[in-house]
Amino acid sequence: MTSPVFRAAATHDTGGSAPRFLSPLPEVRITNAFARAFDNVVATARTCYSGAGIVRDEQVLGDPQAPPQAREERERRRDSLARDLYQAGHHTTLQHAHFQFALSNVSRQFLWSFLHSHPFYNSEQVSQRYVTVKPGHYAVPPLEGRALRVYEETVARQQQAYEELCGLLQGPASAAYYARYPARRHYPKRYEKEVQKKAQEVARYVLPIATFAYLYHTISGLTLLRYYRACRGPDAPLEQRLVVGLMVEELLAREPAYAAILEQPMAEEELAEHRALLDHGTRDDAGRKAFLDDFDRQLAGRVSLLVDYPAKNEETLAQSVREVLGLTRDRLSDDEAIDLALDPARNRYLGEALNLTTLSKLSRALVHCHYTFRKRLSHTADSQNQRHRMTPASRPVLHTHLTSEPDCVTPALVREDDRGLRSFNQAMAASWDGFGRLRALGVVDEFASYVLPNALAIRFTESAGLLDLHHKHAMRLCYNAQEEIWQASRDEALQIRAVNPRIGRYLLPPCNQRQMAGTRPICPEGRRYCGERVWTYRLEDYRRVI
């Protein structure tokens, strides 16, 4: 059962009589920031029209020893200019100043649905793949009586299933690990923690998306203003308002001048999703199930299905390369041009550890090729997948996909072991039983969904230009990548090979790229080397369960 401290009412006022989470308040603090962030907004704007050179931040308000009336007048002019820039949409001035937040006691659901759902941030968060999840660390929405008991019982069962699976999967994880590293079999004590992490990585699928995370999260002032304006959107509006409200409080405590341009959150009825769901939303399980079944039929067993791409991807890429170099077709054929851009032996940027392709005139020709995929990943895998911010997706309003039946992704390692599979399936049934009981008690999906597991299936469409997709595949075709995203990337690379073979042959993991570029060592992972000579394999033959 949850510790009493996790049931204590939160003291932060989320606005009027708004309901409050029963778990500990999110901890939110700014750990690093520009020294004069708001003055910098105006200084950068004035620099654009300065005939005397750079306008420094400290020049905005002038001499600190000036008479109070003079200081007040300069503040008034600063704030007036900032408001004019803001209202006119000249927002680049707001992107210079960044704020690094340390966040704790925030749910995985909040991270997936809001904080990591856009491109303009950087995060480093605790990983459930490598760090054991302890009991009691999860969000508890505003429930009471029987609903609260059902919620806590469900999460307790999920924690128990996680701990059980960590043990049950040690055997199959050990077999898979030593099949990959046969020489290490003779030193089990040395590598038992590595095996434990492989089992734990898969066991996390049964944990609830309510599980707490802690992280560093860095954003610009502009992004924080956007967070606040949009924080009432789906899927976790109460937690979003709470966390973003605390972030704004931190900002205003440090830089109160931002209040001059801070807009209040949009009302729920103003949101595009709210109106669309009122007019067209499916309100019964049968309608939602019909959508899910139709989506999965289209996938035909794949994790990721190529559904659209321009007919002349390869020709456009080749012509773009010729334009960069000022050459006609008779001087540079399509095949040669594509090789110049994509063959690491000829484009050495591709063998670098530092991704330099956006700074390369030749490599930027890749932006003109596009691919669109329909995908099905678990909540936990998509939480990592969405961190590839330059391959964006249209993710669902989650409650429109939820039914009373278990709808989950079963990890490959679980399918290798009968006892593990039985335990996993029981955990999935218990999770959806808890979800269904909460619904039956009148709990809204926003709060009931917190008990759904990391294994919950997420369906969406994702698009990418070749420049960013190439980088993503180089990272995620590595055998150390999360298994589901690795499988999705393999599906995608094989399908691109089928339709654009001159491009697809170069969608490879980092070891292949470095081997072709002549970069040493071939594997960039050092002590984390996956144990397989992947650069000698054909993509069609890639296989793994851990």
Which tokens in the block code for residue 335?
A: 């095949």
Residue 527 in domain: yes
Q: How many domains does the chain have?
A: 1
* Nearest one of 458, 507, 461, 459 to 307, comparing CA atoms: 461
Report the number of secondary-structure helices (H) and strands (E) in the chain: 20, 8
Helix H, strand E, coil C: the string for 524-539 is CCHHHCCCCCHHHCCH
pLDDT at 19: 84
Q: Domain residues for 467?
A: 313-373+463-541
Distance between CA atoms of 184 and 541, rounded to whole angstroms? 24
Q: Going along 302-456, which residue ranges are E strands?
A: 304-308, 370-378, 393-394
For residue 14, pLDDT beyond 50: no
Distance between CA atoms of 445 and 235, rounded to whole angstroms? 9
Residue 290 in domain: no
For residue 12, pLDDT beyond 60: no
- CA dihedral 142→289→373→512, nearest 10 degrees, is 80
CA–centroid distance for 473 within its chain: 16
For residue 359, pLDDT beyond 80: yes
Which tokens in the block code for residue 245?
A: 């409200």
Tell me the pLDDT tens digit for each residue of 99-135: 999 999 999 999 999 999 999 999 999 999 999 999 9
Which tokens in the block code for residue 419?
A: 């006892």
106 three-state secondary structure? strand
Residue 529 in domain: yes
pLDDT at 17: 60
Residue 146 in domain: no
Neighbours of 448 (CB within 10 A): 26
pLDDT at 459: 98
pTM for the structure as a whole: 0.95
Tell me the pLDDT tens digit for each residue of 300-323: 999 999 999 999 999 999 999 999
For residue 7, pLDDT beyond 50: no
Residue with tokens 């690094």: 100
pLDDT at 281: 79
Residue 5 in domain: no
For residue 1, pLDDT beyond 50: no
The answer to whether the beta carbons of residues 356 and 435 sit under 8 Å apart is no
Residue 500 in domain: yes
Q: Going along 410-449, which residue ranges are E strands?
A: none
Residue 209 in domain: no
CA–centroid distance for 53 within its chain: 40
Residue 365 burial by Cβ neighbours in a 10 Å radius (0-12, 13-18, 19+): buried
Examine residue 235 and say whether the peptide bond preceding it is cis (omega within 30 degrees of 0).
Answer: yes
Give CA separation, 460 vs 97, 112, 303, 390, 399, in Å.
Answer: 33, 13, 11, 16, 14
Residue 298 in domain: no
Backbone angles phi, psi at 498, to 5 degrees: -70, -35
Which tokens in the block code for residue 351?
A: 């063998």
